[in-house]
Every structure is written in C-alpha cells, then in structure tokens.
Amino acid sequence: MLNKKIVELLNDQINKELYSAYLYLDFANYYADEGLNGFANWYEVQAKEERDHAFMFRRYLIDNGVRVEFKAIDKPDKVFKNHLTPLEIGYEHEQYVTSLITAIYHEAVSQKDYRTMQFLDWFIKEQGEEETNADDMIKKMKLFGGDAKGLYALNQELSARVYAPSTTGPAM
C-alpha cells in the first residue's frame, strides 16, 4: 500500500501535468493567432504528451488501489510580450515540474518506497529531455527568429513534429 503523503503528491501531480497540457495549449492558441502554425503544432504535440503524463500518474494510483481525486485546473493566464516569451515561460515551467518530480522522489526515498521510485525513474529522465528541448527552443529562436526568413524556416521545422504515444513510459 502506498503511503498517504506519497498518494497526495502523486495525486497533485496529475493536476500539475494537466495544467502543463493546458499551458502548452494556450501557447499553441497564441502562436496560431500569430500565424505561426508550426510553433502551434509543436505545442499541441507537447500538450498531448503532458496529458499522457497525467494519465500515467492516474493509472499508477489506480493500479495501487487508490481512489483518484481531481481538483480544479488553474487558468493559464500568462501574458506573451513577443514570440520568445512562451518559450521562456515553457523552460521555467519545465524546471518547476522537475522540482515537483524530485520532491516526490525524495519522499519515496525517505519512505523506502522502491515501487514509486521505479515508477518515477522514467519521469526523471523525461524531465531532463524536456528541459533540454525547452532550452533548445529558446536558443534557436534567439539565433534564427530575429528575421522573417529565419522565423519562417523555424516555423516550418516545428511543423514537422508528430505526436506518438510513448513506448517507453509507464502504462496509461
């Protein structure tokens, strides 16, 4: 049986992952409105991955006999000054999510909850990748996004991202 504190943290993480999906869809709304459909596509795919993360936490709790409890999802209320702002907010957000996953891992370690540690291992790796991707987006935007041709090419590149459910992650 999972410890009460661990259940609480994992249950909260469902909400945080759904908020992430909501936040990234909001980025996609902004970019679609700006005529940057490639950027919008990239964040739509990202939103689907975040939704999947929420499903993984939910599945893990259910498989451990927990009655999952949902809370309200915050409204994404970020203000975008320019095309770079969402990318910077995205990077900060991923660092925040990493801190949440790390906190759950800490709790699992202190409880000697090896099952939850093993479940979280995939997320630890995933967060490393997500932070790198978010940082790369900022770097590319700073390098190429400054002129119309560069922005056009970057938008084209980002339009190629395709959603695929994870084949390595925990069950959904």
Binding to ligand FEO in span 39-58, by CB under 6 A: 50, 53
Q: Is 65 left (phi over 0), alpha (psi -120 to 50) or beta?
A: left
Indicate the DSSP class of residue 160. Answer: T
Break the chain down into helix, strand, coil percent, rounded to 5: 75, 0, 25
Q: Which position among 97, 137, 154, 158 is part of the footprint of ligand FEO (CB under 6 A)?
A: 97
Minimum CB separation from ligand FEO for residue 130, in Å? 4
Minimum CB separation from ligand FEO for residue 59, in Å? 14
- DSSP assignments along 98-118, one per residue: HHHHHHHHHHHHHTT-HHHHH
Q: What string marks each residue from 56 to 95 as x (binds ligand FEO by CB under 6 A) or -?
A: --------------------------------------x-
Minimum CB separation from ligand FEO for residue 50, in Å? 5
Should residue 7 be labelled a site residue for ligand FEO when binding is judged by CB under 6 A?
Answer: no
Q: What string marks each residue from 102 to 141 as x (binds ligand FEO by CB under 6 A) or -?
A: ----------------------------x-----------
Minimum CB separation from ligand FEO for residue 53, in Å? 4
CA-CA distance, 127 to 160, in Å (whole number)? 22
Minimum CB separation from ligand FEO for residue 1, in Å? 26
Residue pair 91/134 in contact by the 8 Å Cβ criterion: yes
- DSSP assignments along 40-68, one per residue: HHHHHHHHHHHHHHHHHHHHHHHHTT---
Residue pair 91/131 in contact by the 8 Å Cβ criterion: yes
Decide whether 20 or 155 has the Cβ nearer to ligand FEO. Answer: 20
**Binding residues for ligand FEO, per CB under 6 A?**
17, 20, 50, 53, 94, 97, 130
